[in-house]
A and B are shown apart, each in its own frame.
Chain A
Amino acid sequence: MKVGELASALGLEVLTGNVNLDRTIQSGYTSDLLSDVIANIEEDAVWITIQRHINILGVAKLKDIAAILIPNNLQLDQEVIDKARAESIAILRGRNTAFELSGLLYNALKEV
Chain B
Amino acid sequence: MAVDTFQFTPKINLEFAIREKDFFVAGESASRVKKTLQQLGMQQEIIKRVAVIIYEAAMNVAIHASHGMLRVFISPEAITIETDDAGGGIPDVDLAMKEGYSTATHEIREMGFGAGMGLPNIRQCADELKIDSKVGVGTLLQATVYFTNR
B24 touches A54 (CB 8 A): yes
* A63→B112 CA distance, assembly (Å): 16
* A63→B24 CA distance, assembly (Å): 15
State whether the Cβ of A58 lies closer than 8 Å to any Cβ in chain B.
yes
State whether the Cβ of B23 lies closer than 8 Å to any Cβ in chain A.
yes
Q: Which residues of B contact A62 (CB under 8 A)?
A: 27, 30-31, 34, 51, 55
How many B residues touch the partner, as a band? Answer: 20 to 34
Classify the interface of chain B: helix, strand, loop or mixed.
helix
Q: Which residues of B contact A38 (CB under 8 A)?
A: 52, 55-56, 121
B28 touches A58 (CB 8 A): yes
State whether the Cβ of B115 lies closer than 8 Å to any Cβ in chain A.
yes
B interface footprint on A8-50 (CB within 8 Å = 1, 0 otherwise):
0000000000000000000000001111101100000000010
* A28→B3 CA distance, assembly (Å): 41
Interface residues of chain B, those whose CB is within 8 Å of chain A, are 23-24, 26-28, 30-31, 34, 51-52, 55-56, 59, 111-113, 115, 117-118, 121, 124
What are 17 A-B residue pairs whose CB atoms fall within 8 Å in the complex?
Answer: A34-B111, A34-B112, A34-B115, A35-B56, A35-B118, A35-B121, A36-B115, A38-B56, A38-B121, A39-B121, A49-B112, A51-B112, A55-B111, A58-B30, A58-B55, A61-B31, A62-B30
**5 shortest interchain CB distances as A-B pairs:** A58-B27, A35-B117, A33-B115, A34-B112, A55-B23
